[in-house]
Structure 1
Amino acid sequence: MATRVLFVHGLWIHPRAWDPWLDLFRSAGFAAEAPGWPGDGETVTQTRQQPQRVAGYGVRDIADHFTRIARHGEPPIVIGHSFGGLIAQKLLASGAAQAAVAIDPAPIKGVKALPFAQVWSALPVLRRKANRDRAVMLSRRQFRYRFGNAISREESDQLYDRWAIPGPGRPIFDLTAAKKDPASPVAVDLDDRNRGPLLIIGGGRDHTIPEVVARQAAELYRPGGNTEYRKFDDRGHSLVFDSGWREVAQPVLDWVRTQTA
């Protein structure tokens, strides 16, 4: 039976952005799937036309959604980007996944780094408290700073038109409340000795999740030794769906193969 690989997208990006990865992993013999977050439409257009459908969901809701999917069969290898990387870590820690890859993951509880670029990236949501229960859509200019800063403006605009969707504001508020919330949904069991392997990837030019944030997340799991970290120096937050996606996907596929050999 083919090993399941479950892809989890991040905030503001439609799950169809994983399509090239699905083709790559399926051609390598894996049973790959990329379900949407709760409320996502089948297409980018449908999701944009009904933004209220994605509103109100937080990290706990999204994690529960993917946990149900993961437990419907053999525990998968979970590959997540941005908030999807946070979800991947939660599924791995809970035993719902056999291994995980977290690419430019949203910070888990305990990460102390808070670079200016990350704060600025969150402002479209945090500037209004009412956004906690609303859907928020980035403008092209906002997308350029948060996702497309390491690629050309032309490509950034093309990716925005192709993949950008409204996303719930609540996950951003979950992050900002994590320090004072003992039951924070972004908390993850940091003992990595009794769960499957985890690869965390950071992008050296990422504004939304600066590389130091991804690196600190990996360091929190020490000294268990079941967590690896890798950095892609010249990549921004669009690294999994821009024109250089294969430069990231192939090493991830190679790593996944080593976990299933």
Structure 2
Amino acid sequence: MKTNAPKTVVFITGAFVTHHGWKPWQDYFEAKGYKTLAPAWPYKDGTAAELRARQPHDTDLAKLTLSELVEHYANFVKALPEKPIIIGHSLGGLITQILLNRDLAEAAVAIHSVPPQGVIPYEFSFLKAGWKALGLFTDLDKTYLMSFEDWQYAFVNEMSLDDQKKAYDENTIPESKVVARGGLTSAAHVDFDKPHAPLLMTSGSLDNIIPAHLNNRNLKAYKENGSVLDYKEFEGRNHYVLGQPTWQEDADYILEWLAKNTK
């Protein structure tokens, strides 16, 4: 018997930032009748300040792989009573695409997503913003913490200095360089030919680390096979899109899309 139970939305965070950034989105979606969950990455279930205090010697996080991270979220959604709606940002958008490809989502939204394997991110701004996270010629047993200067370019460009500092203090956390490298391997594979549940991809005109051009190439990698596949570029959005003053406009667009594409 079909019930009127609320649909579940699972939010998946990206690299470099805490999952607590989803809290306003969770509150907003719950006010619209959804149940929401925003599970942390392994070894990241703490405040930004607590996690930064472990830098750079959090060896458990340092050794985390992308494959392990994907399986962490796959097992999480498999344990739910029904397929959830999955919404991911940045590397969380890549994980969202992988889980959708495994038929684990009723519908999915990839916000400013890292692309799957095969979509080569050659854009200069991506390389400038993200190359340090790969940790080339550095110790992989130590985590990487984005500097404030790099944060300004990669996440919060065009924002006021005070807002940039506040966003950094509240969100920035250490990262596994091994996970970052995993985005270039088969751990990031998606079968672009395979039919899938509805997928919306969004991008932002100001995003440096995941520029709109890269998101558009990710979209075009999918083959036309009758699956719902939509794309929206928002003006004035940088990579800190989840916390910009315009986040509610983005959320409203996503909610309207979900209403049209889920039962």
TM-score by structure 2 length? 0.91
> What residue identity is the alignment partner of 2:222?
Y
- Provide the C-alpha distance between the structure 2 equivalents of 1:113 and 1:162, rounded to a whole number of angstroms: 28
> What residue identity is the alignment partner of 1:204?
S
The alpha-carbon deviation at position 145 of structure 1 amounts to 0.4
Structure 2 gaps of 5+ residues are none
- Provide the C-alpha distance between the structure 2 equivalents of 1:208 and 1:95, rounded to a whole number of angstroms: 28
The runs of at least 4 aligned residues of structure 1 exceeding 4 Å deviation read none
Deviations 1:144-172 (A, max 9, x none): 10000132222111100111111111122
1:164 and 2:172 matched: yes
Query: Are the counterparts in 1 of residues 135 and 177 from structure 2 also a CA contact under 8 Å?
Result: no
TM-score by structure 1 length? 0.92
Deviations 1:228-251 (A, max 9, x none): 111012211001122221121111
> What residue identity is the alignment partner of 1:197?
P
- Structure number with higher helix proportion: 1
Q: 1:49 pairs with 45, 50, 53, which one? A: 53
Matches for 1:84-163 after TM superposition, within 5 Å: 84-163=92-171
The alpha-carbon deviation at position 192 of structure 1 amounts to 4.5
> What residue identity is the alignment partner of 2:257?
W
Q: Which residue of 2 aligns with 1:62?
A: 69
Q: Which residue of 1 aligns with 2:219?
A: 218
- Provide the C-alpha distance between the structure 1 equivalents of 2:29 and 2:139, rounded to a whole number of angstroms: 36
Query: Are the counterparts in 2 of residues 108 and 217 from structure 1 also a CA contact under 8 Å?
Result: yes
Residues 88, 247 of structure 1: alpha-carbon distance in 2 compared, 3 angstrom cutoff: same
> What residue identity is the alignment partner of 1:60?
S
Q: Which residue of 1 aligns with 2:25?
A: 21
Residues 131, 119 of structure 1: alpha-carbon distance in 2 compared, 3 angstrom cutoff: farther
- Provide the C-alpha distance between the structure 2 equivalents of 1:131 and 1:208, rounded to a whole number of angstroms: 23
The alpha-carbon deviation at position 259 of structure 1 amounts to 2.5
Q: Which residue of 1 aligns with 2:13?
A: 9
Secondary structure in structure 1 of the residue aligned to 2:188: coil
Coordinate RMSD, CA, aligned: 1.6
The alpha-carbon deviation at position 113 of structure 1 amounts to 4.3
1:31 and 2:32 matched: no
Q: Which residue of 2 aligns with 1:181?
A: none
The alpha-carbon deviation at position 173 of structure 1 amounts to 1.3
Residues 131, 210 of structure 1: alpha-carbon distance in 2 compared, 3 angstrom cutoff: farther
Deviations 1:11-59 (A, max 9, x none): 1110010000000111111110101111103322222223414222122
Query: Are the counterparts in 2 of residues 192 and 227 from structure 1 also a CA contact under 8 Å?
Result: no
- Provide the C-alpha distance between the structure 2 equivalents of 1:166 and 1:37, rounded to a whole number of angstroms: 12
> What residue identity is the alignment partner of 1:252?
I
